[in-house]
Amino acid sequence: MKKVDLREKVLSANEKIAIANRERFADTGTLVLNLVSSPGSGKTSLVEETVKILKDRYRIYVVTGDIMTENDARRIARHGVEAVQISTGGACHLDAKMVDEKLVKIGSDYDLIIVENVGNLVCPASFDLGEDLKVLLVAVGEGDDKPVKYPPMVRASGVLVINKLDLVPYTDSKPEAIEQNALKINPDLEVFSVSCKTGQGLDRWIEWLTSRLKTKKAAHPGS
């Protein structure tokens, strides 16, 4: 009699690759973040500020996704961190296979892999890449109701970073409103308020990230 693997049947092709990616990252104790936001909220800026502070202490690899251009990878590589661009050629999200193809060449023996997704609050929510966490960025001034307009993304995320705090005096935007709107949908979110321009709030973000890096590594002492 032929055995039918039900689990096999219900998993999409993307989910299978995401699971394989996640297992590989677990083996190497690599923390993987998937950064998602609207275009222009500051994903590349947050990656730049983060790698500037952590690059001497951790092995970091950055994968950036965009429909066109290699600009973001270039911006990150100038800080002396390895960065590779995935130009999706039109696709509005990254999928697990695209990430896998980039990592096959380099292996995953890094402490931290940051994936900057394509700027889009819709479909990246439903494409697992094998990451530990989705980090959702919302910037001051892009509409405090952004989280309630895109609930699946808020639910799929583990962290909310409210960026561009320096713009508060010039807009009617209220970071507390962004936070409350997001927590209504996902009360488990870890929330950080920062300005990638002035550096405000980045210390708390870095402290949290460092602690996550330690926890992940501790769970995989072999690597």
45 binds Mg ion (CB under 5 A): no
Q: What is the DSSP letter of 3?
A: P
Q: Tell me whether residue 40 or residue 107 sits nearer to ligand GDP (CB atom).
A: 40
The site partner of 197 among ligand GDP, Mg ion, Zn ion, none (C-beta below 5 to 8 Å per kind) is ligand GDP
CB of 102 to ligand GDP, least distance (A): 18
28 binds ligand GDP (CB under 6 A): no
The 3-state secondary structure of 107-171, one letter per residue: CCCCCEEEEECCCCCCHHHHCCCCCCEEEEEEECCCCCCHHHHCHHHHHHCCEEEEECHHHHHHC
Among 164, 192, 202, 209, the residue binding ligand GDP under the rule CB under 6 A is 164
Burial bucket for residue 43 (CB in 10 Å: 0-12, 13-18, 19+): buried
CB of 113 to Zn ion, least distance (A): 21
Q: Tell me whether residue 120 or residue 181 sits nearer to Mg ion (CB atom).
A: 120
Burial bucket for residue 206 (CB in 10 Å: 0-12, 13-18, 19+): middle
CB of 149 to ligand GDP, least distance (A): 17
Per-residue x/- mask for Mg ion, residues 46 to 85, rule CB under 5 A? --------------------------x-------------
41 binds Mg ion (CB under 5 A): no
Distance CA 194, CA 191 (A): 10
CB of 93 to Zn ion, least distance (A): 3
The site partner of 157 among ligand GDP, Mg ion, Zn ion, none (C-beta below 5 to 8 Å per kind) is none
Site for ligand GDP in 43-82 (CB under 6 A): 43-45
Q: Please, what's the b/e burial string for 102-139 (b: 16 or more CB within 10 A of its CB; e: otherwise)?
A: bbeeeebebbbbbbbbbbbbebbbebbbbbbbbbbbbb
